[in-house]
């Protein structure tokens, strides 16, 4: 399910401006346009301001708005909202009221409801680097609290009152006191992905568990992340590496184990695009801070997107498979798993042993399907539940072997660099979240600000 973000933005702003409860509140709406697709004439209300800039990703868009808000002394809190949410404005009124009655500064994380199934709660905050059941350390793992909770079931509503400390929350709805930004700095310039998690981790480290909270009745609808997945998303696992390095939780063995598992899992279903993105992510993390300091973010992202077109053996077809195949419910035995892994589902077997057949794998947000069924097959068809795309991947032994060899060489090379690179990311983190850095990164020199102000007066 995909929608025009411009339509979402206009609808969200209209919803806020027309809310009678918010009329008595002093609010200013800053719309940051990274894409250059919005017009100032569409936002004529005195409470709105459109800010146009080059595309420097989600972190750049949010931070541009934060910098603008901090330049004024008229506000006490800054509310970050995604550009593709569906909102009931009462959620904002509740957040304002909660802040008015609170005896201390709170960072209020709105919950995320599933836009495709509006009665389902997708997450009410999340845990980071923790296992689902025992909450012990598990590198790169995200536990979405109250995931897929059915809110039509009245008995489930009591679960929302039970509080559990959260590690992170999304920028689809996050209310932050300006004092927080003034204390811990701005966002990391990560372009896309994990900037919200890193910011929340800093909040917890500085202010403890009780500052970042969720609250029943404060939520927005958002498309589930699984449905929005794109191949280039996997490149931004680079950001997970950066964030964990900065916060001192990243061990070499954990990182290698996680990436090896993810790369092998991709190669088992002949997903060379995914595997390549993961290898590239690791390579660029090892370059250190230079990857952010000297690269143009928009051009860099464009180059990453071009990598998507390198493999002709992978195609996307539009399909609608309404029911889950019963054959997918079985699990592989130990022998099947072992043979599947040792041969990488046929990459290391002679061509004569490869069958000119295909296999369908049904994937959900929690299950990738039984990959061993692709053993000795020529092609794999993957259908992601909730979507309308059928991914067709064909076996290319030379590409698969090249990628696994490249990864193994990288894993060995990185052992020598690990501590040095990790220290470098830690040392630059304070600079990268400073107002001075962001003003330079956003090209906010005096002349550009004056030009923007003149445009506002003309509009």
E strand or H helix at 394, and its extent? strand 389-394
Letter string b/e over residues 38-62, b meaning 16 or more CB atoms within 10 A of that residue's CB: bebeebeeeebbbbbbebbbbbbbb
CATH of domain 5-228: 3.90.550.60
Each residue's pLDDT tens digit, 352-400: 999 999 999 887 766 777 899 999 999 999 887 766 678 899 999 999 9
Of the candidates 343, 321, 107, 76, the one whose C-alpha atom is nearest the C-alpha of residue 204 is: 107
Read off the pLDDT of residues 170-225 as tens digits, 9 standing for 90 and up: 999 999 999 999 999 999 999 999 999 999 999 999 999 999 999 999 999 998 77
- Please provide the size of the chain in residues: 459
The percentage of the chain sitting over the pLDDT mark of 90, rounded to a whole number, equals: 69
Residue 328 confidence (pLDDT) above 80: no
Tokens of 376: 């000795």
Under a CB-based contact definition with an 8 Å cutoff, are residues 273 and 235 in contact? no
310 or 174, greater pLDDT: 174
pLDDT at 5 over 90: no
- Cite the DSSP H helix spans in 333-434: 334-342, 397-432
Domain ranges in the chain? 5-228, 231-406
Cβ atoms within 10 Å of 108's Cβ, excluding its own: 25
pLDDT digits (tens, 9 = 90+) for 221-245: 998 776 556 778 899 999 999 999 9
Q: What's residue 2's pLDDT?
A: 36
Strands 126-130 and 137-144: antiparallel
CA distances from residue 143 to 81, 169, 214, 411 in whole angstroms, order as listed: 22, 11, 15, 27
- pLDDT tens sequence across 127-147: 999 998 888 999 999 999 999
Q: Does 1 score more than 80 pLDDT?
A: no
**Conformation bin of residue 193: beta by default, left when phi > 0, alpha when psi is -120 to 50:** left
Residue 453 binned pLDDT confidence (cut-offs 50, 70, 90):
very low
Average pLDDT score over residue span 320-325: 55
pTM attached to this predicted model: 0.90
Q: Is 143 helix (H, G, I), strand (E, B) or coil?
A: strand
Residue 125, SS3 per DSSP? coil
Residue 405's contacts (CB-CB under 8 Å, 6 or more residues apart) are none
Query: Among 228, 301, 308, 242, which Cα is nearest to 57's?
Result: 301
pLDDT grade for 323, boundaries at 50, 70 and 90: low
Cα–Cα distances (Å) from 277 to 127, 236, 288, 425, in that order, read 25, 8, 17, 21
Residue 168 pairs in a beta bridge with: 126
Task: Give the C-alpha separation, 114 to 222, whole Å.
Answer: 6
Cβ neighbourhood burial of 139 (10 Å; 0-12, 13-18, 19+):
middle
């Amino acid at each position: 399910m995909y929608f025009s973000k411009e339509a979402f933005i206009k609808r969200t702003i209209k919803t806020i401006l027309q809310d009678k409860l918010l009329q008595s509140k002093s609010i200013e709406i800053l719309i940051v346009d990274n894409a250059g697709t919005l017009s100032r004439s569409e936002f004529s209300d005195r409470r709105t301001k459109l800010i146009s800039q080059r595309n420097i990703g989600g972190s750049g868009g949010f931070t541009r708005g934060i910098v603008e808000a901090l330049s004024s002394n008229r506000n006490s809190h800054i509310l970050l909202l995604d550009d593709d949410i569906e909102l009931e404005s009462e959620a904002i009124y509740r957040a304002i009221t909660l802040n008015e009655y609170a005896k201390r500064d709170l960072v209020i994380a709105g919950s995320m409801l599933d836009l495709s199934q509006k009665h389902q709660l997708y997450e009410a905050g999340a845990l980071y680097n923790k296992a689902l059941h025992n909450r012990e350390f598990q590198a790169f793992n995200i536990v979405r609290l109250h995931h897929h909770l059915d809110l039509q079931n009245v008995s489930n509503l009591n679960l929302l009152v039970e509080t559990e400390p959260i590690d992170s929350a999304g920028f689809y709805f996050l209310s932050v006191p300006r004092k927080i930004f003034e204390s811990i700095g701005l966002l990391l310039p990560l372009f896309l992905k994990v900037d919200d998690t890193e910011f929340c981790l800093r909040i917890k480290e500085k202010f403890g568990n009780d500052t970042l909270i969720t609250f029943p009745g404060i939520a927005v609808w958002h498309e589930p992340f699984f449905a929005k997945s794109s191949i280039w998303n996997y490149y931004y696992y680079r950001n997970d590496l950066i964030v964990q390095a900065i916060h001192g939780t990243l061990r070499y063995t954990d990182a290698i184990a996680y990436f090896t598992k993810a790369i092998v899992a991709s190669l088992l279903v002949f997903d060379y695009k995914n595997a390549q993105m993961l290898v590239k992510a690791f390579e660029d993390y090892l370059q250190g801070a230079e990857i952010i300091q000297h690269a143009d973010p928009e051009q860099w992202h464009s180059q990453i997107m071009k990598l998507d077109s390198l493999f002709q053996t992978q195609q996307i077809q539009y399909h609608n498979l309404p029911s889950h195949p019963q054959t997918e419910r079985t699990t592989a035995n130990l022998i099947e798993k072992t043979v599947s892994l040792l041969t990488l589902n046929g990459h290391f077997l002679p061509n004569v042993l490869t069958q000119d057949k295909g296999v369908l794998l049904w994937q959900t947000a929690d299950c990738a399907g039984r990959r061993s069924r692709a053993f000795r097959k020529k092609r794999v068809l993957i259908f992601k539940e909730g979507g309308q795309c059928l991914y067709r991947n064909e076996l290319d032994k030379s590409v698969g072997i090249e990628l696994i060899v490249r990864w193994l060489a990288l894993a060995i090379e990185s052992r020598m660099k690990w501590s040095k690179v990790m220290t470098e990311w830690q040392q630059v983190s304070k600079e990268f979240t400073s107002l001075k850095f962001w003003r330079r990164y956003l090209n906010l020199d005096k002349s550009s600000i004056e030009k923007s102000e003149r445009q506002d007066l003309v509009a």
